[in-house]
Structure 1
Amino acid sequence: MFNFQSESQYFVPMLQVLVTLGLVPIISYLRYLYLARAFACPAFPAAKPAIAKHTNNSLKVFMPLTFVCFAFGIAVAWQAQSNQSELFNWDNQAGLMVLFFIAAIPILHIALKQKQLYAILLQYTDTIRTASLKPIKWYQLLSPSLVLAVVAAQLLFVSTVFYFKQHPFPGFAGYANLLGALLLNGVFITTLFTIYRSNQFKAIKLPEHRQAIKSKLLDVNLVIWLIALLNLSLTLWISGTQWVEYKLLVQSLYLQFVIVTMAYTLTLPASVIKAADQP
Structure 2
Amino acid sequence: MWQNYLLYGVFLGQIFVLSVYFPRKILGLIDTTIMQRPSADYPKLYPIDVTVIQGKLKLFALFNCLVVALGLGILAYSIFNTTDDLAGWDDQGVLVSYLMLQYIPMIFLAVQGFIYLNLMRDKNKSIYRSADSTPRKLTDYVPKTLLICALVSYVLCVATIIYFNQYPFDGFAGLVNILGVSVIYVGLGFGIYQKLYGKKYNPLKATNDRKFETTVVLKLLVLSAIFSSLYLTISLILASLDMRDLGNVIYSVYLQIFVFYIYQVMKFDQVDYSVYKA
Normalised by the length of structure 2, the TM-score is: 0.81
Alpha-carbon distance between aligned partners in 2 of 1:244 and 1:147, rounded to the nearest angstrom: 29
Structure 1 pair 197–73 and aligned structure 2 pair: CA distance change class (3 A): farther
Supply the AA of the counterpart residue of 1:62.
F
For residues 12 and 272 of structure 1, do their structure 2 counterparts lie closer, same or farther at Cα, with a shift above 3 Å needed? closer
- Check the 8 A contact 2:141/2:214 in 1, yes or no: yes
Could you tell me which residue of structure 2 aligns to residue 19 of structure 1? 17
Q: Deviations over 1:4-54 (max 9, x none)?
A: 224334333233222222222212222344555678969935546946334
Change in Cα spacing, 1:236 to 1:195, as seen in structure 2 (3 Å) is same
Partner of 2:191: 191
Q: Distance in 1 between matches of 2:38 and 2:218?
A: 22
Report the 3-state secondary structure (helix = DSSP H, G, I; strand = E; otherwise coil) of the residue aligned with 2:56. helix
Report how many aligned residue pairs link the two structures.
Answer: 276
Shift of 1:262: 6.0
Please name the residue that 2:50 is paired with.
Answer: 52
Q: Name the CA distance, whole Å, in 1 between partners of 2:29 and 2:156.
A: 35
Equivalent residues in 2 for 1:82-231 (5 A)?
82-85=80-83, 86-122=85-121, 123-124=123-124, 126-133=126-133, 135-231=135-231
- Identify the residue that residue 26 of structure 2 maps to in structure 1: 28
Deviations 1:213-261 (A, max 9, x none): 2222111111111111111111112112364441220121233345556
Judged with a 3 Å threshold, the aligned counterparts in structure 2 of structure 1 residues 274 and 237 are, in CA distance, closer, same or farther, namely farther
Does structure 1 conserve the Cα–Cα contact (< 8 Å) formed by 2:157 and 2:230?
A: yes
- Give the 5 Å matches for 1:52-91: 52-85=50-83, 86-91=85-90
Q: Which residue type is aligned with residue 216 of structure 1?
A: V
For residue 77 of structure 1, give the secondary structure of its aligned residue in structure 2. helix
Contact 2:238-2:247 within 8 A present in 1 as well: yes
Unaligned runs of 5+ in 1: none
Moved more, 118-127 or 179-188: 118-127
Percent identity between matched residues is 19
CA separation of 1:218/1:134 partners in 2, compared to 1, >3 Å: closer, same or farther? closer
Residues in 2 aligned to 1:269 and 1:229: alpha-carbon distance in whole angstroms: 31
2:111 corresponds to which letter in structure 1? L
Partner of 1:232: 232
